[in-house]
Chains A and B, each alone.
Chain A
């Protein structure tokens, strides 16, 4: 009550009018701190009154502020900008006599003009629109009066490039407004200190944290692994509560479940792909009670008020602790009530994962937010913006501004590197120390306000069936697709025939094993820590700390028993099993998606270098599937895995990534942010041009690597696994294919090519020579001739008629020479010929199969074969000698 009484009269009246009898715990703690003018990070689960905690003291302070221009900026991602929150804030402003305005991408011109002429005291906006505010002279003037900045959902922003962009924007704002007070509202995270740094840079700040644990009650159940049984379980669960929110992980699942439960008549589906009207209607019907359950993806994770949610169901493992906490946190409505949720596991992996995540959620062990440091494309975007904002700005000033932000505090030479690269693409002009905007700068900015990649989708058209198969991300097409490329979509293999009229023409490919991904935004990676704990649970088989229900426990026990009965080892946190599968090798590693992604690529590039073949990879949190030629087995993979040095992993990966689909896709996205590629670029005309060459060695490539290594792969975690293998803490065994190895969702696919052209060429040569037709002719009895291929020649080679090993190897067109050799009377020329053939046979006699192979090569006769064999070159070296000999032959007169 103390806190309350210190506030302005009018604010106190409003508090009472809203029906708050007392302030919540977080409000009690936060309000005094804000009143003191401190920068503040508020960490609390949803529904605990975070917005009010920040805004009450800010409104209070605003009561005594004067002056034109914006006083407070409330920044929130667009999808959180919901009607309820707006209505609440509008109500407050109305009561307190403050003016409020909302500005985002869809705000009308009239409204924008009004805001420019009569700037509202409180401006509610998105990070992207904040970028736009710097572009207008009048708006910049209004920004000079900002005293308070509130950032909502800061945990989400901090972990993305949009956040890095926002951090720089705040420092740009500081140039006009001076130091202002910063308040961040965050969901529960593992590293609140760092999020606070992200908000404030090097400035002081306080953290108010409300622990999540006492509010959550989570249980895990299992209903069988068939979708019908699972849907029936969901139906029963819905029947047991007045209102239920059912969360699923993908839109496809949402639609499927909605379809299955349609007959109930009281269930609706809600996700991002549905139109706004459809979604709002579903929300209304839920709120009014005419709909009892909503099936949704993460679209309903945020605080849209849909009335009381009695129970939350999570269909399938939530993958991340933070996600489960956020989702179950939607249940219950009053601020201190308990939130109840149940996870319905859908399979064995899913079950163990759900148990582990539920335990961690209750223990408050939430994942860290991964903040992007030194993201070069964000820097490029902001430098472009600064160049337009100031027309002309010195590099030193740019450095001063960006280095105040946490993401770029240690940028070092990056500013200069980025400026140089931007000048290459004509996005800015550099004149000594000064940076000036270029001709395309404004146009670039208006379509690159956001760091979100607005991916155009390219249609994939099946030539044979004459219909559309699906779509691919445009960046992916630009970077990777070329005629002849093979990829998978909709579970099928396709080969690219042509690219025209805004689409890709394909035909079904049969056994060609080239595979690659279209990176679905919906795949949520399972963290390393969760996967390790699942591994540990598989090993101990002690489920008691996880309090599973009867059905889940019985299912898990049965599954493990089945594994034991098949005499297949259960892979766990200290045991990696490598299993020979139909088209490759399954490596069962409990390390999570990102570590497995890194490990898979390292293994595949080493395998591909050693065996000269492309390796296909498919990954999930507990398995790596390596698609290999039949000659490469689990034991070979084991050898490579056990001889890996963790210190080399990053270097190996840089090499491995270069020609992959993922790398090219990411590089195109980064290139777009550098202004190298327009958003409406004609990709048909440019994708055949060799983009990787253009960006090789540039900061564009560097940033693509940086992002891939921090977002898509977890290199330190992969290195840990490799260290543990090295020191013997993790055992690696070869095992027959188990049900666990054969199971699983393949979350991502790609293909790794051999690191050097050399290997590919040698591979081609080997194949060609093996299939080369030759004539074998016995030079001893001269009575035997045989047409065959090199691969079918036995070692040692003996004439079947006389048993001698003196057999000459002739090219197919030299067959007639034998007739000359058999002549009794020979002239000089013919005698010389016979001598040559004898020499040939002698080389075969002493050199064996190697000699046969060499003699099958183009233009290689006895002299050259003898020379090649005398070098004693083995393996690849031998083939290189042959390539050299063939090359020499090709240059000469005889050939042409």
Chain B
């Protein structure tokens, strides 16, 4: 299996027998939510669509998997979303078949998708790789596989001696505890290790610091992951190091 990290998206291309392009957390419609909270900016959905289209262009995938939170506003779908979603989804469909693994911001999204496009929100296994939004316990089907998950909007902060030098979206790879994820125990199954790869949000305005996510997990996957051995990558695939190396150096040097 090969993984190609597409920095501008950001998106991920998974190559086994199929070429599967994965992107998640588009949060289209976020601008109307921000407006309700006092920040008024024009919709940046067109730019997000374009980034995704150019990823499709350069990766030539067989399938595009949208990893959830395609829309933003819950529980009601906003006018912005009604206006934007159909056009964007059609533009994507015109290039490649699309699938959706629904996320917690997606209630009501079914009407925008066609028959067969929407997968289960507890995850799907495609070509031996698991895909899930990340807010639910994963389907036992995914046990022993690499699970690609969204929902966590990982943001990497690199700190040096004097302070914070870089903040940017990135990936977190970690092994997860099967028992914690409530996977059934089945001794006959030949199981590999279950691992999760958290992908960054496509929406450029979203982001949660991964150190904080590790310290205060808010989902089954983040609660059950082995943070000690987890690894951090930038959006272009640059390996940064273990999660522990991102901790603030200064404090370790004693008071």
Q: Which residues from chain A sit less than 8 Å from chain B, CB to CB?
A: 424-427, 440, 482-486, 495, 509-515, 612-616, 627-629, 675-678, 680-683, 685-686, 688-690, 693-694, 751, 753-754, 757, 759-761, 763-764, 767-768, 858, 883, 886-887, 890-893, 896
Instruction: Verify B38–A682 contact, CB threshold 8 A.
Output: yes
Q: Is the interface of A mostly helix, strand, loop or mixed?
A: loop
Instruction: Give the A-B contact count at a CB cut-off of 8 A.
Output: 166
- Among B38, B41, B204, B250, point to the contact of A511 (Cβ < 8 A): B250
- B163 interface contact, C-beta 8 A: yes
Tell me, rounded to whole Å, the shortest Cβ–Cβ distance linking A495 to chain B.
8
- Contact string against A for B residues 194-210, beta-carbon threshold 8 Å, 1 for contact and 0 otherwise: 00000000001111110
Partner of A763, one of B42, B157, B165, B209: B165
User: Does B239 lie within 8 Å of A682, measured CB to CB?
Assistant: no
- With the chains together, A509 CA to B163 CA distance in Å? 12
Q: How far is the CA of A875 from the CA of B201 in the complex (A)?
A: 34
CA distance A891 to B34 in the complex (A): 37
Query: Nearest chain A CB to B129's CB is how many angstroms away?
Result: 9
**Is B241 within 8 A of A686, CB to CB?**
no
Q: A688-B207, A690-B207 are in contact. Are A761 and B38 (CB under 8 A)?
A: no
- Which B residues are in CB contact (< 8 Å) with A509? 248, 250-251
**Is B147 interfacial (CB 8 A cutoff)?**
no
Query: In chain B, what residue has the closest Cβ to A583?
Result: B162
- Chain A residues within 8 Å of B42, by CB: 424-426
Interface residues of B in 148-194 (CB under 8 A from A): 157-168
**Which of B41, B162, B164 has a CB less than 8 Å from the CB of A629?**
B162
In contact, B211 and A764 (Cβ under 8 angstroms): no
User: Nearest residue in A to B252 (C-beta to C-beta)?
Assistant: A511
Instruction: Give the residue of A512, A616, A761 whose beta carbon is less than 8 angstroms from that of B166.
Output: A761
Task: Beyond A424-B42, A614-B161, list 7 extra A-B contacts (CB 8 Å).
Answer: A483-B209, A484-B212, A613-B165, A763-B165, A764-B245, A883-B239, A896-B2
Closest Cβ–Cβ distance, residue B248 to chain A (whole Å) = 5
Which B residues touch A768, using CB under 8 A? Answer: 240-241, 245
Of all chain A residues, the one with the shortest Cβ separation from B233 is: A890
For B250, the chain A residues whose CB sits under 8 A away are 509-513
| B158 and A764 form a contact (CB under 8 A) | yes
User: Which residues of B are found within 8 Å of A612, using beta-carbon distances?
Assistant: 160
- Would B234 and A761 count as touching, CB distance under 8 A? yes
Find chain B residues with CB under 8 A from A511 CB: 250-251, 253-255
**Complexed CA–CA distance, A886 and B207 (Å):** 25
Interface residue? B146 (CB, 8 A): yes
Enumerate chain B interface residues (CB-CB to A < 8 A): 1-5, 34, 37-42, 146, 157-168, 204-209, 211-212, 233-234, 236-241, 245, 248-251, 253-255
Contact A680 to B38, CB < 8 A, known contacts A514-B163, A764-B241: yes
Residues of chain A contacted by B204 (CB below 8 angstroms) = 690, 693
With A512-B248, A514-B163, A751-B162 known to touch, is A761 a contact of B3 (CB < 8 Å)? Answer: no
Closest to B161 in A: A629
CB of A757 within 8 A of CB of B166, answer yes
**Residues of B contacting A883 in the complex (Cβ-Cβ under 8 angstroms):** 238-239
- Chain A residue nearest to B212 (CB atoms) is A483
Closest to A427 in B: B40
B38 in contact with A753 (CB, 8 Å): no
Question: B238 to A886, Cβ gap below 8 A?
Answer: yes
Which A residues are CB-close (under 8 A) to B240?
761, 764, 768
* Distance between Cα atoms of A674 and B5 in the complex (Å): 38
**Nearest neighbor of A612 in chain B, beta-carbon distance:** B160
CB-based contact B2/A613 at 8 Å: no
Interface contact A676-B245, CB-CB below 8 Å:
no
- Whether B163 and A515, one on each chain, are in contact in the complex, defined by CB atoms closer than 8 angstroms, is yes
Look across to chain A and name the residue whose beta carbon is closest to the beta carbon of B164: A514
C-alpha gap A735/B205 in the complex (Å)? 47
Q: A614 touches which one: B5, B41, B165 (CB < 8 A)? A: B165
Chain A residues near B167 (CB-CB < 8 A): 482
Complex: A763 Cα to B165 Cα, angstroms: 10
Report the bound CA distance from A665 to B182 in whole Å: 47
Residues of A within 8 A of B209 (CB): 482-484
